[in-house]
Amino acid sequence: MVSRREAAQILDIPLEMATRHGLPSRLSSADLARIQENPPAWLVQSRANRTGKRPVWAELRCYVCDFHETTRPKKWWPDFTYVMCDFHEDGELPRPAGGMRRSEWEGVGSRFRGFVDAPAEDD
Ligand SMILES: [Zn+2]
């Protein structure tokens, strides 16, 4: 059995959409496989509309301790080079490569900080 939330992740749709279209709170793997093999019209439409857009779900995985969660990405999130729990020390990440500058985002997901290493601007 999978939960509705897990089913939404597997189908790559928002949880609200799964609820609106009557996915039960728990589905058997066979039910889920049936939906994937023979998707209802609303699911086909949703997939067609999403081509090339930001993914519905993002997986955040701590570089240090491997804690992870699947969550809805925020518009302002860049492509993080590293993600780690907010209680780890900066020194637990590898140092940025030569010529790279590290930027930090706080409040990512439930407990993460995100880091992006990008070429430093000449100034
Ligand atoms: Zn961690």
pLDDT for 48: 80
Please write the tens of the pLDDT for every residue from 87-109: 999 999 999 988 899 999 999 99
CB count within 10 Å of CB 82 equals 20
Q: Ligand 1 centroid vs 46 CA: distance in angstroms?
A: 34
Q: Is the pTM above the cut of 0.75?
A: no
The alpha carbon of 71 and the centre of ligand 1 are apart by a number of angstroms equal to 16
| Calpha distance 29→32 (Å, rounded) | 5
Q: Helix or strand or coil: residue 14?
A: coil
Confidence of residue 74 (pLDDT cuts 50, 70, 90): confident
pLDDT surpassing 70 at residue 52: no
How much is the pLDDT for 93? 96
Q: Could you tell me the distance, in angstroms and rounded to a whole number, from the CA of residue 68 to the centre of ligand 1?
A: 8
Q: By the 8 A CB rule, do 114 and 83 touch?
A: yes
Q: Please say if the pLDDT value at position 20 is more than 60.
A: yes
